[in-house]
Amino acid sequence: GSVLIRTRHLAGSGLIQANGARSRCSGCSTALGGGGGGRIAILHVDHAFAGTVEALGGVNNFGTPSGKNGTVFWAREQAITVGTPIQIEAQPLVHYGFRLDWPGGDPEVVRVRLVVQSATGDWTLRGAQGEPASQQNANWTGIPVATGADAVFEMLLPLDHAGAWYLDVFNASFDPPSAGDGFTLEVEPVERYVVPAFLGRGGNQGSTSFAIAGAGFEPGMQVAFRTAVGQPLRSFPVSEIDPVSLSLTADLRNLAPELVDVAIIWPDQEEFVLSAAFEITGNPPGKLRITTELPSSVRALRQYTLWVTCANIGASDLPAPLLRIANDDNIAMRMSTADPFVRGEMYAVAIREIPPYDVIPPGTSVRFRVQFIPEGGSHHETVFRVETLTAEGREIDWEQTKLASHPAGLSDPAWDAIWANSRERMWNSTEDFATRMREDAVYLAQRQNGTPLLARLLGLELAAAADATGAIAPRCARVDLTGTTDAPELAFVRYATDALFSRYESGTLGFGWTHSYDYRLYRVGTDRIRLSLPGRFARRFYLSPLGTWQPFRGDHGRLEETAEGYALHDGRQTMRFDADGNLTAIESLNGRQLTLLRDAGRLTQVVHSNGETLTLHYDGDLLESVEDSTGRLTRYAYTAGHLTTVTLPDDTTEHYEYQPDGTAEHALAAVTFP
């Protein structure tokens, strides 16, 4: 378990404990381990506690300690204000927490400066907004600007709104403290400023990306490399700016190996020079090393995590690699809790969370997780394979890819049009495709929606090709007939969207139109279901390893298989489908329902439980009219497969015109209402 204590003063004695449990198998002949220790966090200002705090691993059935020890987290917390230094006589292995309350007003950047007076230890400075900073929860990390007995760290915080900012100082030393050990912490406002830190190294056989911490940066800035005597070497434009840093990519090709000064230059030519801040080397270019971490043993049908790390051990930037992740047992995997578990291979782009997003600079790495659910029995070994897609210049078989990617329920003409648009964006080769995927990954990362999952990036491309990247809303919605308003409401409503995948579809209302009962469920393979909605947008469900249907991200519906087919529960109503995926009924919580009657799969009548009806009449494949139980009639007329007039029960007429050709073919061009 976990224990959290938050107090100003902790005194007395006794025992604070979160130990692991003892193995329960007292009669077993072999040693079976005890449980792992828990977590204890004690947040305080000062303490004189003389008792014991422990989170020990449990003992096995023979009484021998075997469980993994937990963690004990001591953290001192006190207030700090801008301009008032705090001096602390520090103890090792104690987290010193500080809270900076900012009242709001104009955005401001402050410099947090930690000056250490200690000959030993491994010091860290971290910052977080809204909750205490820790190794797992830190938005900012202190940068060392001086080392040795009087080490100095600096960290810039962007105070852009009212709230609490938390600082954490920690010395990971097991040595007893010496007289005078401690630190000074100070928070000061800064305007134009650059943290005076060493920026890194890069090889002269390629380009190297890096960031510079500072404040007051603005568009049009330049970064220049100079020799130790001030001779200009090369200048570079800045690619990214935020309130506390700038990023750039430096082309170091053909520059001689040496230690150089770095000048950060504002548009008005004011500059800040960092002496001997970057080293140009003659080392080899970027080189990728992939490592994985996963549990040594697992249990079937439980969730575990495989960590994949892509490190650049060379001296120049590496483009974010495209990876293939597979396992020999075809078990279900996913990369995010918001994504479904899927079987088969997964593809990823090793994208960074900070600029530059699409490259791995020298000495840095990208780490992401893959969750999986094993299914084998005892002593079964599961092998994972992680490999790069390295066939630069190799042509992609787009026709085969097109056939394999054809969404269920989408007509050939609609898919042809979407695919043609996507080909224009993604070109032909694996290398070009990888470049486009990196660009899409950067686009999402810049909007705090980054993902390594290639399927989501490809989905973004296909959505753009289908003109469907905006809100899921119809371009036009018209109510043709209404009956009772008692839930579920009886009404016939038409929808038209400009999304390419909808306007290229020809249904019972012609190109681009659907109606309020146009629901169709498609089984995709053995573990996917696609529910086509009015407007031809879709909801998707996947079959979990536990045998239940789960919705994709943002969907809270509950889908289950029934004796008749499927049932989708959405809180206030249940939609029922037959084994072919046709909608058969809509049931409300009040006990009323709509029953949908069909002839050879085509909808002919909608019947409310109160006896009211909507009856649909057809002329060939197209809907000719809709009639309610009182005899009111709405009529439809078509030209070249397009719905052109709708005559309502009061004999008023709506007129529709369409784009005849080009990229907007079948899109609504004009609507005339009575």
> Closest by alpha carbon to 331, among 373, 378, 380, 377?
373
State the fold for domain 286-466: Immunoglobulin-like (2.60.40)
Identify the burial level of 439 via C-beta atoms within 10 angstroms of its C-beta, where 0-12 means exposed, 13-18 middle and 19 or more buried: middle
Cross-sheet strand order for the sheet of 538-543: 520-524, 528-532, 538-543, 549-551
Does 80-190 match 194-281 in CATH topology?
no
CA distance 674 to 669: 17
Neighbours of 515 (CB within 10 A): 20
CA distance 79 to 182: 18
With a cut of 50, list the residues of the chain below it in pLDDT: 469-472
Neighbours of 83 (CB within 10 A): 9
Which pLDDT score is estimated for 70? Answer: 82
CB burial of 91-102 (b: ≥16 within 10 Å; e: otherwise) equals ebebbbbbebeb
Q: Residue ranges per domain, the chain?
A: 2-74, 80-190, 194-281, 286-466, 476-672
Q: 80-190 — its CATH code?
A: 2.60.120.380
CA distance 270 to 642: 65
N-to-C CA span, the chain: 69
Tokens of 287: 């080189």
Q: Where are the beta strands (DSSP E) in 192-243?
A: 193-194, 200-203, 207-215, 222-226, 232-242
Which pLDDT score is estimated for 427? Answer: 65
pTM of the predicted protein model: 0.70
* pLDDT tens-digit readout, 420-465: 877 776 666 778 888 889 999 998 888 888 889 888 888 888 777 7
Neighbours of 110 (CB within 10 A): 22
**Domain 194-281 in this protein, CATH class:** mainly beta
108 pairs with which residues across the strands?
Answer: 159
